[in-house]
Amino acid sequence: MKKVYSRPIGLHRNINGYCPGCLHSAAGKIIMSALEELNLLEKTAMVDGVGCCANNNNYMDLDAIGTPHGRACATASAIKRCSPETIVITYQGDGDLASIGLAETMMAANRGDNITVFFINNANYGMTGGQMAPTTLLDMKTTTTPFGRNPEEHGYPMDMCKVLSTLKGPSYIARVTCTDVPNVRKAKEAVKEALQHQVDGKGFSMVEFVSNCPTNWGLTPLESLKFIKEHMLAEYPLGVYRNL
Amino acid sequence: MPKIEIESEFCKGCLFCVEACPKDVIGTTSAVNDKGYQYAVPVHQENCIGCSICAIICPDAAIEVYKED
Ligand SMILES: Cc1ncc(C[n+]2csc(CCOP(=O)(O)OP(=O)(O)O)c2C)c(N)n1
Ligand code: SF4
Ligand code: SF4
Ligand code: SF4
Ligand SMILES: [Mg+2]
């Protein structure tokens, strides 16, 4: 018998810390599989944000560094400038990238620093129990918006692909999801494209994963996929926002 | 005949593979793994066509797929 589908070699043979059905796991798996296919596993350094994302460094076999909350893009830019031959990726949640780290994200993108950002948008602060994030949908209930997000009080959901696409620095920006097989395939293509931009020295690249948080959304894993398709994708359309 | 192997200790029982398999190969039993998750098992291995849909959708990379050479 020939093995036709294998676990990515860069994933340790252990169970990771994510909840059942959490698409953080899917994003990590896709990133490791893309790095393997591009033969970049040995030269990649990962900068983890703070949040559930930081669960990944016990199962992704990469050199990794944890940063203070929100500072991943600044740290990644510094590593890349000191060691241009290293492939530098960040792995950040929406609270990390779009809230506490908004300045660092915008500045790295605006400078066109040659790093690749993986942004996991699950519309809340997952790790701390499901508070509102800038990306929380209108009317969505979180622990800090118990009656639903109301724009007059809490502002509007923030579309980071569109926001960053207004800058001149980024060379590749795409939004993907992992709810079904065609989308998983497209997600891997986008991750490989973003990494290739870095290999080619083209500047800042980002892939946003429209993700889930079944635990804090109060849904089963399968219900959370339906919620992504019916609600998240309406606010966060998939596609390539920048490709220079 | 194609076949799948599910690493029960990596499975968290999310049921994505159960829902996605076009041949209803995968199901669950009352068995749980060390973490307490009711893991997925191939209950109708004989129907597997080796399409890899289950393995691609499994977030936790618990499934591997084999085919005849
Ligand atoms: C400076 C600082 N402020 C607050 C926290 C608490 N904190 C830990 S994780 C987190 C939110 C993470 O949310 P997100 O980035 O969306 O990641 P998720 O867990 O949803 O993947 C917060 C506020 C912290 N660790 N450090
Ligand atoms: S709390 Fe939410 S984001 Fe964190 S691991 Fe669980 S489901 Fe995933
Ligand atoms: S390989 Fe295809 S047919 Fe076989 S169990 Fe997986 S999804 Fe079902
Ligand atoms: S998709 Fe993976 S983790 Fe989910 S039930 Fe199937 S084998 Fe288990
Ligand atoms: Mg989040």
d(CA B30, CA B56): 25
Place of tokens 């519309």: A123
State the residue range of the domain holding B26: 2-67
CA triple B55-A91-A83, angle to 5 deg: 115
Atom 5 of ligand 2: nearest residue by CA position: A18
Mean pLDDT, chain B, as a whole number? 97
Number of domains in chain A: 1
> What residues contact A79, with CB distance under 8 A and at least 6 apart?
A45, A47, A65, A86, A88
Q: Is the pLDDT of residue A135 over 90?
A: yes
| Residue A161 within a domain | yes
Give kind and range of the element (H or E) at residue B65.
Answer: strand B63-67
pLDDT tens, residue by residue, A18-42:
999 999 999 999 999 999 999 999 9
d(CA B38, CA B33): 7
| Residue A222 within a domain | yes
pLDDT tens, residue by residue, B22-41:
999 999 999 999 999 999 99
| Residue A81 within a domain | yes
Q: In this structure, what DSSP letter does residue B47 have?
A: G
Atom 3 of ligand 1: nearest residue by CA position: A69
Q: Is there an atom of ligand 3 within 6 Å of B62 CB? A: no
The shortest C-alpha distance from B26 to chain A (Å) reads 15
Nearest to B11, CA basis, from B55, B65, B50: B55
Confidence of residue A127 (pLDDT cuts 50, 70, 90): very high
| Residue A4 within a domain | no
Helix, coil or strand: residue B20? helix
The shortest C-alpha distance from B45 to chain A (Å) reads 15
d(CA A40, CA A46): 12
Number of domains in chain B: 1
d(CA A9, CA A37): 10
| Residues of chain A contacting residue B51, judged by C-beta atoms under 8 Å apart | none
Q: What is the CATH number of the domain that holds B61?
A: 3.30.70.20
Confidence of residue A47 (pLDDT cuts 50, 70, 90): very high
| Residues of chain B contacting residue A11, judged by C-beta atoms under 8 Å apart | 61
Q: What is the CATH number of the domain that holds A63?
A: 3.40.50.970
| A178 → chain B, closest CA residue | B57
SS3 of chain A: the string is CEEEECCCCCECCCCCCCCCCCHHHHHHHHHHHHHHHCCCHHHEEEEECCCHHHHHHHCECCEEEECCCCCHHHHHHHHHHHCCCCEEEEEEEHHHHHHHCHHHHHHHHHHCCCCEEEEEECCCECCCCCECCCCCCCCCCECCECCCCCHHHHCCCCCHHHHHHCCCCCCEEEEEECCCHHHHHHHHHHHHHHHHHHHCCCCCEEEEEECCCHHHHCCCHHHHHHHHHHHHHHHCCCEEEEEC
A143: tokens are 């622990």
Type of residue numbered A231: H
ipTM here: 0.97
pTM for the full predicted model: 0.98
| B33 → chain A, closest CA residue | A15
State the residue range of the domain holding A138: 23-243
pLDDT tens, residue by residue, A50-60:
999 988 878 89
| Residue A218 within a domain | yes
